[in-house]
Structure 1
Amino acid sequence: MIKRILAVIAVSILGVGAAFGAEIVKFGVQAPITGNYANEGQGIEKAVRLLAKQQNAKGGLLGHKIEVVVCDDEGKATQGALCARRLVNDGVFAVIGTYTSGAASAAQPIYARANVIQTSDGTAEMLTRRGYKTFFRNAPPNSAEAKFTAHYLVKIKHYSRIAVLSDHSSFSKGLGDATEAAVKRDGGHVIYRGYITAGSQNFMSVLTKIKSLKPDVIYFSGYYSDGGLLRAQQARLGIKAVFVGGDANQNTEFAKIAGSAARGTVIVNVPAPANLPYAEAKAFLADYKAAYGTAPPSIFTLTNADGMRAIMYAVEKTKSLNPDKVEDFLHHLRDFRGITGPLGFNKHGERLGSAFQAFEIQADGSYKTLYSE
């Protein structure tokens, strides 16, 4: 009986990962490694592996070697919950990811119960309103992006006929609804509010309806895999409206999917990787390209890298792998020198210190900044 009790205690200690001084500290990656958003998920995994390799070369984290454990959630809620259970069972100390709000939401309570730190790009408002002390958002919320987008569309560009399109995901619907409301608060006119089915490939029907309303601008709050197709099909129908995409359209694959129609597309997001004026960003971009032979697919590779960098910084400053101490430190973090600029978190795990830009895709696929906060 005593042996069985000791075995249970040993398993329990292993289950909380490196918090009590094991030789290895495990960082999980939960991301869409396959599926519609594989380009983003693979970028997140590569960033985490690069940071782990660099930290291990410096002697590890408090002397412990970092091991990376990856779980593919395909950007789906059901898989997100499965990944969370698997990574918790694997004894991870912290999890970087995921990319979609739906998968992040499904994983949240599982990580919270296990006291596993989670950083994510999920921007749905609910993620930081649930009170989970383990959750930290490494990208700004929908409300902040919506406010900037509305100001740009109404006050800066003076568009009078605005069409708003979303898919049915919690992220896209939330951002679309918030942008519609912000446009109206700014005195703008939304002539159409509609939805597409993500991944359906053919959007001619909804675009034909929008064409009949003669919009000045079509704003799409969904993901790049659909956004690129919408832009290409818009051009095919001869719709002259400007196409403005929310942050999830900022990915190198957008231009490949849209083809020549990508030129002139406007994306709203925090600064694109190439536009970041920080020495840390330039160094990481160079290291990433040297390691993988290509630039990061989007800014979200870097925001996730910043999530991991912030956690490692908190561990080093607290000299502890106790999740409670690290979480408390992160909730009070201010002006950390992030790859994506000054970084901090408030008591809800909301990121502090981000500014948005509107930038335009050029003929060569590069970005030109049109307007900044």
Structure 2
Amino acid sequence: MHYSTLRTLGLAVTAALAITACGKKAEQQAGQASTPASAPAVAGDSDVIKLGFAGPLTGPQAHYGADMKNGILLAIEDANAQKLEIGGKKIKFELVAEDDQADPKTGAQMAQRLVDAKVSGVIGHFNSGTSIPASKIYSDAGLPQIAMATAPAYTQQGFKTTFRAMTSDTQQGGVMGPFVVNKLGLKKIAIIDDRTAYGQGLADEFEKSAKTAGGQIVKREFTNDKATDFTAILTAIKASQPDAIFYGGADAQSAPLAKQLKRLGLKATLVSGEMTRTSTFLQLAGAEAEGVVASLAGVPMDKMPGGKDFESRVKAKFGSMELYSPYSYDATMTMIAAMKKANSTDPVKYLPELAKIENQGVTSTKIAYDEKGDLKAGDITVYKVEKGQWTVLETVGGN
């Protein structure tokens, strides 16, 4: 056969083989792409059960979301170490995490993504403003949700799928009003909130309880959760000479607020909630953090049933800890405990067990929910910045 003929034939064969190989690769890719979301993932000889999480993982509230996520990851690690068998199958839990950017619209989109991903339950969202719209999506899907949300509205919707990881603003605001008026002796109070579901809800509850305790609300102002300049608001408040200024919102706002308050010569004590009682607030506010008072759900870490050990484990694994990882850890382990009791990871089957569960955790000896999904009992601890550190003033309530 002529050389040119041989060469032509060789090229044809090579091309045919290449086309065949490409065809097989395309078929494999198409097969992968068409795999339904409900198809069980397998790790070794274990069924993989996906748990969802959504919270702020970027932006000014990313430290909250990261801290919450770390608690969930540690819980999943501990649960998998138990080599659980549920429903006659070996189970391995896996986290599906989404960034809701602390934005209600994005939160709803991430909620639908978690539903579409066929997760068996959701720990989240972090913010009340994202948890509330997301809760309708989870309820429609019959998917249990344990959120860090503290706004009363979260569990007042009548959904059977909503549960809390922390005490509500009704409990926290109800404690702080009388504490500020009677224990701290600060009678004239101005209030600022960031208009989020969390910030406004906490401020509303604080205002009600402060008035009931005999306090006088001399000014009520609002800002937003992106603001950093509070000069105009504080100037308007200054004329009323308040003893205290209560702020409902996050540390990204309360820190510059603390700085500007002192720069303008206001003598009022800044009081806030748990999103201010963070190490990030201390870093952002610097010397002007001194004297600030804030509340936090639960007892101090060293008084929690498993607090000291948990804190050392989180810091060893992740380098630091804010506030929320013990609560997200307990939420995750409580959800898994309900699955064990039901002997099923099917939300329809374990949801009734979750509603009536009593589980021992890091934060409490008895984690249990009322008919709305609120925690039945919980402490509130009040802290004050002294010498650059959060120090305990008093723990109110009890398990």
The DSSP-based 3-state class of the residue aligned with 2:242 is coil
CA deviations 1:91-111 (Å, max 9, x no partner) are 111111111111111211111
CA deviations 1:194-220 (Å, max 9, x no partner) are 111222211111111212211111111
Partners of 1:22 and 1:59 lie apart in 2 by 9
User: Does the C-alpha gap of structure 1 residues 303 and 317 become closer, same or farther in structure 2, counting only changes over 3 Å?
Assistant: same
CA apart distance, 1:78? 0.6
CA deviations 1:258-297 (Å, max 9, x no partner) are 111112111112246534331x222221211111122x11
Partners of 1:290 and 1:145 lie apart in 2 by 31
Is it true that 1:114 corresponds to 2:158 in the alignment? no
**Which residue is 1:291 aligned to?**
317
Is it true that 1:340 corresponds to 2:363 in the alignment? yes
**Which residue is 1:222 aligned to?**
249
Q: What TM-score, normalized to structure 1?
A: 0.90
| Aligned-residue RMSD, C-alpha | 2.0
Unaligned 5+ residue runs, structure 1?
1-9
Unaligned 5+ residue runs, structure 2?
1-34
**Which residue is 1:236 aligned to?**
263
Task: Please list, as runs of the form range in 1=range in 2, the aligned pairs for 1:252-291 lying within 5 A after superposition.
Answer: 252-271=279-298, 274-278=301-305, 280-291=306-317
- Could you say which structure has the larger radius of gyration? 2
User: Does the C-alpha gap of structure 1 residues 251 and 61 become closer, same or farther in structure 2, counting only changes over 3 Å?
Assistant: farther
CA apart distance, 1:22? 7.7
- AA aligned to 1:281 is G
CA apart distance, 1:371? 4.9
Task: Please list, as runs of the form range in 1=range in 2, the aligned pairs for 1:4-83 lying within 5 A after superposition.
Answer: 11=36, 13-14=38-39, 23-60=47-84, 62=86, 63-83=90-110
**Which residue is 2:15 aligned to?**
none
Partners of 1:281 and 1:329 lie apart in 2 by 26
Percent identity (aligned):
26
The DSSP-based 3-state class of the residue aligned with 1:240 is coil
1:14/1:91 contact within 8 Å kept: no
Partners of 1:275 and 1:353 lie apart in 2 by 19
Partners of 1:37 and 1:156 lie apart in 2 by 31
Partners of 2:372 and 2:298 lie apart in 1 by 24
CA apart distance, 1:46? 1.4
CA deviations 1:306-360 (Å, max 9, x no partner) are 11111011112222212133221121123x2222113111121111221112111
CA apart distance, 1:180? 1.0
**Which residue is 2:114 aligned to?**
87
Task: Please list, as runs of the form range in 1=range in 2, the aligned pairs for 1:130-209 lying within 5 A after superposition.
Answer: 130-209=157-236
User: Does the C-alpha gap of structure 1 residues 76 and 210 become closer, same or farther in structure 2, counting only changes over 3 Å?
Assistant: same
CA apart distance, 1:42? 0.7
Matched length? 357
